[in-house]
Amino acid sequence: MTVIVAGCMDLEDPEQLKEMLLGARPHIEGALTEEGCIEYAWTEDHLNPGRLYIYEEWTSSEALEAHLRDHWYDDMRAHLGQYPFKAERRRVTQKYRVDLEEPVYDDTGVARGHFSSE
């Protein structure tokens, strides 16, 4: 079952975001090589200076667990530890199990919020 990890954090100093993301690149690229990693993206919010969004997609809970025990995860945490984040804006990063996936647009090109089985 697919697992999604999503989160949002704000740096204390928004001017450090580009530096932080560039320094994170080897850890991001490393995580993308891990078995079961579908997506591993750390991106800047261009409307909110210093805000960082985290999005990860894994093929299973086991794949995510392996990542959390791998050096790429530890290396990323060490890298992030160099940059202070705003405590009041540091949201909890959540994980979600995906039990059903469908395209947003149906066969006729209409966007649907409900699933076909509902």
Beta-bridge partner residues of 95: 5
89 inside domain: yes
21 inside domain: yes
pLDDT confidence tier of residue 89, bands split at 50, 70 and 90: low
Sign of the dihedral through C-alpha 85, 88, 94, 100: negative
The 10s digit of each residue's pLDDT in 23-64 is 999 999 999 999 999 999 999 999 999 999 999 999 999 999
pLDDT confidence tier of residue 91, bands split at 50, 70 and 90: low
Q: In 3-state terms, what secondary structure has residue 39? A: strand
CATH number for 10: 3.30.70.100
Q: How many residues does the chain have?
A: 118
Total domain count, the chain? 1
116 inside domain: no
Question: Which pTM value belongs to this model?
Answer: 0.89
25 inside domain: yes
Domain boundaries, position 29: 3-97
Closest by CA to 14, choosing from 39, 46, 40, 38, is 46
DSSP 84: -
114 inside domain: no
